[in-house]
Homo-oligomer: A and B are copies of this chain.
Amino acid sequence: MKRTYPMLTAEEAAALVHHDEVIGFSGFTPAGAAKVIPTAIAANARIQHAAGRPFKVGVITGASTGPSLDGELANADAIKFRTPYQSNKDLRDSINAGKTHFFDMHLSLLPQYVRYGFLGELDWAIVEAADVSVDGKILLTTSVGAAPTFLTQAKRILIEVNSRHPKELLGFHDIYEPQSPPHRRPIPICNAEDRIGTQRVWVDPKKIVGIVESNREDEVKEFTPVTDITTRIGEHVAEFLAAELRNGHIPKDFLPIQSGVGNVANAVLSAMGAHPEIPRFQMYTEVIQDSVIDLIQQDRCSFVSGSSLTLSNSVLQGVYDHLESYRGRMLLRPQEITNNPEIVRRIGIISINTALEADIFGNINSTHVLGQKMMNGIGGSGDFTRNAYISIFTCPSTAKGGNISAIVPMCSHMDHSEHSVQVLVTEHGVADLRGKDPRERASAIIRNCVDPSYQDLLWTYFKLTENGHTPQSFRSAFAFHETFLQSGDMHDTKF
């Protein structure tokens, strides 16, 4: 089947890409990311740079990718601009040094930004696939992300056909792309498991200029294990949700769960799975992590809809070894659908996301370390939290061995305002912010969530500033941060 398309080496494919072009790469997390072609583009960039020629490309993806895409291109100084999300150390360094323009955006918006032309023309879609038919039907691998939009919008297409992924993945994807206004219709998902699209992405086969063979593994990092602190956060979340079930705020059959990425998210899912009062539940989330596979195997999660299977290699192999047992229990969708405000609000998602920093009024910093340095990006957190049935943010109450309080007088950067944050949870407890004014929120957060060693300091700040609807002091709002920069310990703060 594939013989009708030119078979290229990665180097031949990379040579087709020119300076200043804009590329949409597959990948939503390292899962399903293009690998061999971007690495070859980076190698070509180094050759061009050595010859004194400029070579930088615009890099658009679904979300983060792996070292062979973001890492290689950043190291080769080959990225002109990058959107919408990243999590690669080398790329992050380049962004924070002001060398790479990074446009941090809500993941649900990326595909429509591309369609509307807000990011300019897309020269290339470079996409990993498990299979391609002669008539241009592309079977994606472990993620969907924004690949369907890149494939339909790009002028030309290069495909990495990765033999590591079985063709039996056919049926695990649900490809649907909304029309642009004024022609858009309701997205007909009323339940996490509703199937609304095609199994493959359909493109004009004439746009496919070549295929490169690959058998590279996804570059998913193993998460560090659950700790005492993350376990306690997980237990608080599970107990809060059980109490909401008891008091009738959550319907008896429960509601679909969205859970962020990382160790705290793993601990939360594990605690929910273990809680006797929480019924078997569905997930409508972004990233399907190892812990979700555990829940499916335990039959605690009845169905998961996501945009990527971000699994460690051994867990992914386990899924592939028993693929038929997962059929009908999971679906991979475009990020425009997994994260869509319309669906999130309609089906009543309970969202659980991690904060980098929170303030005593319930505002959240998801992106910037000490206000300046980009960590990864806002990702899907805004898509979910703004529209959730109940929006929960979690974080350990301290960092750096206790020298940083994750809860401060004022966030050093703000991504989610108080209006999108309904519950804050640390290892110390739960602050339910619904219906509370800023002073009441501050009291609940300091009392229930702040580490005891920082409570007096935060009460001092709060009392110092007590006037107006939202008490604050311009002089002292960042005293915690300034003290940390000076002494290395926020405990040394003096107001």
A: residues with CB less than 8 A from B are 81, 83, 95-96, 98, 101-106, 113, 116-120, 180-182, 184-188, 190-191, 247-249, 251, 253, 255, 340-342, 345-348, 363, 368, 371-374, 378, 382, 386-387, 389, 412-419, 434-437, 439-440, 465-472, 474-475, 477-478, 481-482, 485
Complex Cα gap A386–B378 (Å): 14
Complex Cα gap A113–B415 (Å): 23
The residues of B that contact A96 with a CB separation of less than 8 Å are 467-469
Complex Cα gap A102–B437 (Å): 5
Selected from B251, B417, B469, the residue in CB contact (under 8 A) with A181 is: B251
The residues of B that contact A387 with a CB separation of less than 8 Å are 341
Q: List 17 A-B contacts (CB under 8 A).
A: A95-B469, A104-B419, A104-B437, A117-B247, A120-B435, A182-B191, A182-B348, A184-B347, A186-B186, A186-B346, A371-B468, A371-B470, A382-B386, A382-B417, A412-B472, A414-B417, A474-B482
CB distance A116 to B341 under 8 Å?
Answer: no
CB distance A470 to B346 under 8 Å?
Answer: no
CB distance B251 to A182 under 8 Å?
Answer: yes
A330 vs chain B, min Cβ distance (A): 19
A45 vs chain B, min Cβ distance (A): 21
CB distance B372 to A184 under 8 Å?
Answer: no
CB distance B186 to A469 under 8 Å?
Answer: no
Query: Which 9 A-B residue pairings sit nearest by Cβ, starting from the closest?
Result: A181-B348, A372-B468, A186-B186, A374-B469, A474-B478, A342-B342, A341-B341, A101-B437, A414-B414
CB distance B371 to A474 under 8 Å?
Answer: yes
Complex Cα gap A446–B116 (Å): 27
A91 vs chain B, min Cβ distance (A): 11
Question: Of all chain B residues, which has the CB nearest A474?
Answer: B478
CB distance B419 to A251 under 8 Å?
Answer: no
Q: How many copies does the complex hold?
A: 2
Complex Cα gap A470–B414 (Å): 11
Selected from B363, B467, B482, the residue in CB contact (under 8 A) with A372 is: B467
Question: Of all chain B residues, which has the CB nearest A479?
Answer: B474
The residues of B that contact A417 with a CB separation of less than 8 Å are 378, 382, 414-417
The residues of B that contact A374 with a CB separation of less than 8 Å are 468-470
The residues of B that contact A190 with a CB separation of less than 8 Å are 184-186
Complex Cα gap A255–B371 (Å): 37
Complex Cα gap A116–B468 (Å): 30
A492 vs chain B, min Cβ distance (A): 15
Question: Of all chain B residues, which has the CB nearest A418?
Answer: B104
CB distance A419 to B382 under 8 Å?
Answer: yes
The residues of B that contact A389 with a CB separation of less than 8 Å are 116, 181
Complex Cα gap A120–B387 (Å): 21
Selected from B119, B253, B477, the residue in CB contact (under 8 A) with A478 is: B477
A414 vs chain B, min Cβ distance (A): 5
Complex Cα gap A427–B474 (Å): 28
CB distance A116 to B466 under 8 Å?
Answer: no
A382 vs chain B, min Cβ distance (A): 6
Complex Cα gap A474–B373 (Å): 13
CB distance B468 to A119 under 8 Å?
Answer: no
CB distance A184 to B469 under 8 Å?
Answer: no
The residues of B that contact A103 with a CB separation of less than 8 Å are 435-437
CB distance A249 to B182 under 8 Å?
Answer: no
CB distance A345 to B347 under 8 Å?
Answer: no
A470 vs chain B, min Cβ distance (A): 6
A469 vs chain B, min Cβ distance (A): 4
CB distance A341 to B348 under 8 Å?
Answer: no
A146 vs chain B, min Cβ distance (A): 15
CB distance B249 to A419 under 8 Å?
Answer: no
Complex Cα gap A418–B460 (Å): 31
CB distance A186 to B184 under 8 Å?
Answer: no
CB distance B482 to A475 under 8 Å?
Answer: yes
Complex Cα gap A248–B115 (Å): 11
CB distance B469 to A102 under 8 Å?
Answer: yes
Selected from B106, B187, B368, B485, the residue in CB contact (under 8 A) with A419 is: B106
